[in-house]
Amino acid sequence: MITATMVKELRERTGAGMMDCKAALEECAGDLERAIEYLRKKGLAAAAKKAGRETREGLIDSYIHGNGRIGVLIELNCETDFVARTDEFRQLVHELAMQVAAANPQWISREDIPASVLEKERSILREQALLEGKPEKVVDKMVEGRMEKFFATNCLLDQPYIRDQDVKIGDLLKEKIAKLGENIVVRRFARYELGG
């Protein structure tokens, strides 16, 4: 039996709508933890569908760190002004600005990296692997593994979130898309470092 108290608790913990919470509890036989997981999966699937939707609203935020030694400007877009004005969206923009200050990404996503940079990096990593005496058949797998580390260092969406290293920034955005119900896109950022 699904009670109103159970629905209320699930709603408070996930931010999902009342009917979605009720359906999730029914689907998971009243198991709250399973219902949370069910809603997250459903939300992330819905977030993927929202990815193509146009984002013309949003915010630009700034963050100054280290007694004025590092400064960041970042633009985060969403679909409506209503979402842009929510505390959760404002907090997300600020967290992303801090991420850029701390982790110094060079690009937003893998797709933004020029092909010439990727070719050069792969070439360097391949040469390193060969100099380590690795067999030719293993080198390509090693290069791809090391490229993943390159992406995690240089692409904002691939970076581990500074507040939770188990979560990538891209996954954090997907969670917020699922929760806020709108597509959210990092449009651009600029990072300044004194003397840099």
Architecture of domain 114-153: Orthogonal Bundle (1.10)
Is 108:186 a contact under the CB 8 Å cutoff?
yes
Architecture of domain 57-108+155-193: 2-Layer Sandwich (3.30)
Q: In the numeric block, which tokens belong to residue 119? A: 């070719």
Q: In the numeric block, which tokens belong to residue 43? A: 């939300």
Instruction: Round to whole Å and give the CA distance between 127 and 37.
Output: 44
Q: What is residue 37's predicted lDDT score, i.e. its pLDDT?
A: 82
Q: What is residue 9's predicted lDDT score, i.e. its pLDDT?
A: 83
Instruction: Round to whole Å and give the CA distance between 187 and 20.
Output: 31
Q: What are phi and psi of 163, to 5 degrees?
A: -90, -15
Instruction: Round to whole Å and give the CA distance between 130 and 138.
Output: 10
Tallying the residues shown for the chain, one arrives at: 196
Is 100:154 a contact under the CB 8 Å cutoff?
no
Instruction: Round to whole Å and give the CA distance between 92 and 177.
Output: 11
Instruction: Round to whole Å and give the CA distance between 140 and 145.
Output: 9
Instruction: Round to whole Å and give the CA distance between 87 and 85.
Output: 7
pLDDT in tens, the chain (196 residues): 888 888 888 777 766 666 778 888 888 898 888 887 887 777 654 555 555 567 779 999 999 997 899 999 999 999 889 999 999 999 999 999 999 999 999 999 999 999 999 999 999 998 988 888 888 888 888 999 999 999 999 999 999 999 999 999 999 999 998 888 888 999 999 999 998 7
Q: What single-letter amino acid sits at 135?
A: P
Domain boundaries, the chain: 4-50, 57-108+155-193, 114-153
Architecture of domain 4-50: Orthogonal Bundle (1.10)
Closest CA relative to residue 59, chosen from 188, 190, 155, 170? 188
Residue 1 DSSP SS3: coil
Same fold, 4-50 and 114-153: no
Q: What is residue 178's predicted lDDT score, i.e. its pLDDT?
A: 85
